[in-house]
Structure 1
Amino acid sequence: MTFDVIVVGAGIVGLAHAYEARRRGLSVAVVERDHRAVGASIRNFGFVTVTGQRAGDTWRRARRSRDVWAEVAPQAGIRIEHRGLWVLAQRPAAAEVLHAFMQTEMGERCELHSAREAGQHMPALRTEHATAALYSPHELRVESRDAIPRLTHWLSQEHGVEFFFGEAVLSVSDGEVHTAQRSLQAERIVLCPGTELTGVAGALLKDHGLQLTRLQMLRVQPEAGFRLGAAVMSDLSLVRYAGYAALPQAAALQQQLSHEVPHSLAHGIHLIAVQSADGSLVVGDSHHAADSPLPFASEAVDELILQHLYETLDLGQCRVVERWVGVYPVGHHEDCLVVRPSPSQRLVLVTSGTGASTAFGIAEDVFNQW
């Protein structure tokens, strides 16, 4: 079976490359070891984050990906749950970071509000002890566990992408991909291995010092009628997201947090909260790196995440209805690794947990440069 492009991996990075190839009129096959996407692409927030991404390529790709999501979602029957982002500064040092961010090009069209103003715009925020809040209009949010299957179906039914699910790739050579069931041929092959760092992509990744990071996430059900209306972050995000953390003003915030919430920093926790159609909130997350992360979640880590949630949102009573563990690769000095082993092959790996936010922009860059 012969195609113009074969994509190995049906997560969001693979799907983005399949979409980009079809947009250019190329015939495409996607090979996926599992019977459906079950990895990082459906375990995340579904939050397409622009503001706070690392300056340069990551920020540029996030803006492009947001535009593609906005265009593709209605065509694929994917609901956009909400738009925008509020970053609540709970400490004066955090407000200084936001003030500095607003002076960068990445602050364009963002708004910096006093705590009182933020509370008027977003009643769900706990602003009584806050110092400021940044609002970004650039973000959008989809329900990832629903969006990925719908995007897959749309690419298959409307764009003629051929999918081979439940077929592990055994070997890849120039122009050929071999599974246990079949051999496929193509002029171009894109490997999107996700967390499979030791599979067929292992030889290409062995010198890049990659690990996997395990994260914990929760779904909580607030009282009926609670409305968020936009994604929410807080102080810990300002020392984790590179677009803020690279600013000189972030050093003072980092030092203060290391004294006040050392356990949260040690577990790599920063708060993100987004809302689903049923009113529930997807909340997270923590980060623990290892070569092979253990699957056991810590209740103490979940409690820390929930503590930051209650400090940031005026929730009242709510209950945890789901808990899960996600995994994604880390270790590359940039947010995305593109390896070019031969003229006909590319390996593409997002190494920062920003796949949903940047994959469409990455795929466009890969084909532009190929």
Structure 2
Amino acid sequence: MSQGPYDLAVVGAGIVGLAHALAARRLGKRVIVLDREAANVGASIRNFGFVTVTGQERGAQWCRALRSRDVWDELAGPAGIANLHSGLTLAVQTEEGLAVVESFLATEMGADCRLLDPDTALARYPHLNPEALQGVLESPHERRVEARQAIARLTHWLAEALGVTFAFGVNVRAVDPPRVETSAGPVEAGAIAICPGSDATGPFAERLADYGLSKCKLHMLRAAPLPGTYRQTAAVMGDLSLVRYPGYADLAEAADLTERLEAEPSAGHALAHGIHLIAVQSADGSLVLGDSHAYADAPDPFQPAEVDDAILNVARATLALDDVRVTERWTGVYAACAGRENLIDRPRPDVRQVVITSGTGMSTAFALAEESVGELFDRDPSASPLPV
């Protein structure tokens, strides 16, 4: 491992850490990324790879998602990352849901989105379940990558094309710029970005306790490729998403929808497990379905079948699915904090701790990292092109 000197040492090689490395390289900075694992096995590969714009919290978070989407578009070709489909189709199955969508479309967040009537929607998206369909919110803004491949390819591209140094299997013991003490020896770096994900340990971890962080465990499933011509051209969500994603849920009309869903046995059961539907399709035709949300300071490692069954029931009610054969199941854990989408902690002028606390890493990390790196180096990375 090269000992430096580096302009920036990034602790953590998840999507937030990789985003910091990219932002610093835009400024021409020399970067090393350190991670205690031998490879990326955390939340950054245990997700849909869904770059979500529509439904993000109004204001800064929504703007971060738009910017991060643009960065994905910019680096996808050079890094060899495929965009598997674009956009969002949110299937609305209640009158109360329609009211939320109509209110959403009247805001600035509804720009370039539209509400399709059921006949038009089914003609365009025959993979949706026609039963009870009231309409479809169609958005062009989203992207979808295969997270497991995308994170690996982004890491490789940062190393090979942009000259970022990576050191995996290395524990960081202490941070005191310009010195970083690691299990592989000291590293010299002028600034430090600590991106711990859900792991609130390590340098300056005591400061994270002041934010009241907890953790969120989620369930996800992969279903075998479906026979015939089933093909999604965009991600799918449903009514349950309208009461979970703050861009919708913070609208006044969402209260009536929440009341109705809680009163319905199936939807109420799903809400009790924090379930809302996201369905995306992979290049091999398989579907990734989820997800649930269970909050705890120390989530247990178990995956109750009841939660997986509830996810599948919501999927069947929203999509034109007959038999679904599950081929893979997994859980993910991310940092969570009530009322906060993310945090940038500033232990000292040359150190930042950056945590996304809303499960929106793939959707917002690039923009958040540009804010963090911009503070460290007093320059805006977004104004600089990719250094290729």
Which whole-Å CA distance do the structure 1 matches of 2:34 and 2:178 have between them? 14
Please, which of 212, 216, 219 is the counterpart of residue 219 of structure 2? 216
Deviations 1:214-253 (A, max 9, x none): 0000001142332011100000000000000000000000
Deviations 1:157-202 (A, max 9, x none): 0000000001121121232221111111111100000011133342
Match of 1:262 in 2: 268
Which whole-Å CA distance do the structure 2 matches of 1:368 and 1:152 have between them? 21
2:203 is the counterpart of 1:197: no
Query: Do 2:128 and 2:320's aligned partners in 1 also have CA atoms closer than 8 Å?
Result: yes
Which whole-Å CA distance do the structure 1 matches of 2:363 and 2:8 have between them? 23
Task: Give the counterpart letter for 1:329 in structure 2.
Answer: A
TM-score (norm 1): 0.98
Which whole-Å CA distance do the structure 1 matches of 2:172 and 2:28 have between them? 25
Taking the TM superposition and a 5 Å limit, the aligned residue runs for 1:77-92 are 77-92=80-95
Task: Give the counterpart letter for 1:108 in structure 2.
Answer: A
Match of 1:15 in 2: 18
Task: Give the counterpart letter for 2:176 in structure 1.
Answer: S
3-state SS of 2:44 partner: coil
Which whole-Å CA distance do the structure 2 matches of 1:321 and 1:39 have between them? 20
| Deviation, structure 1 residue 368 | 2.6
Match of 1:147 in 2: 150
Task: Give the counterpart letter for 1:10 in structure 2.
Answer: A
Taking the TM superposition and a 5 Å limit, the aligned residue runs for 1:91-130 are 91-130=94-133
Match of 2:230 in 1: 226
Which whole-Å CA distance do the structure 2 matches of 1:88 and 1:78 have between them? 28
Which whole-Å CA distance do the structure 1 matches of 2:338 and 2:259 have between them? 25
Q: In terms of mean alpha carbon deviation, does 313-322 or 89-98 score higher?
A: 313-322
Which whole-Å CA distance do the structure 2 matches of 1:187 and 1:102 have between them? 46
Taking the TM superposition and a 5 Å limit, the aligned residue runs for 1:1-370 are 1=3, 2-224=5-227, 225-260=229-264, 261-370=267-376
Task: Give the counterpart letter for 1:103 in structure 2.
Answer: A
Deviations 1:278-298 (A, max 9, x none): 000111000011111111001
Q: In terms of mean alpha carbon deviation, does 197-206 or 313-322 score higher?
A: 197-206
Which whole-Å CA distance do the structure 1 matches of 2:202 and 2:93 have between them? 44
Task: Give the counterpart letter for 1:277 in structure 2.
Answer: A
TM-score (norm 2): 0.94
Query: Do 2:174 and 2:180's aligned partners in 1 also have CA atoms closer than 8 Å?
Result: yes
| Deviation, structure 1 residue 332 | 4.8
Task: Give the counterpart letter for 1:321 in structure 2.
Answer: T
Segments of structure 2 that go 5 or more residues without pairing to the other structure are 377-388
Which whole-Å CA distance do the structure 1 matches of 2:340 and 2:299 have between them? 22
3-state SS of 1:41 partner: helix
Query: Do 1:191 and 1:201's aligned partners in 2 also have CA atoms closer than 8 Å?
Result: no
How many residues matched? 370
Query: Do 1:168 and 1:180's aligned partners in 2 also have CA atoms closer than 8 Å?
Result: yes
Query: Do 2:16 and 2:365's aligned partners in 1 also have CA atoms closer than 8 Å?
Result: yes
Which whole-Å CA distance do the structure 2 matches of 1:128 and 1:289 have between them? 33
Which whole-Å CA distance do the structure 1 matches of 2:127 and 2:82 have between them? 22
| Deviation, structure 1 residue 265 | 1.1
Moved over 4 A (4+): none
Deviations 1:296-353 (A, max 9, x none): 0010000000000000110222200000000001015221100011010001000000
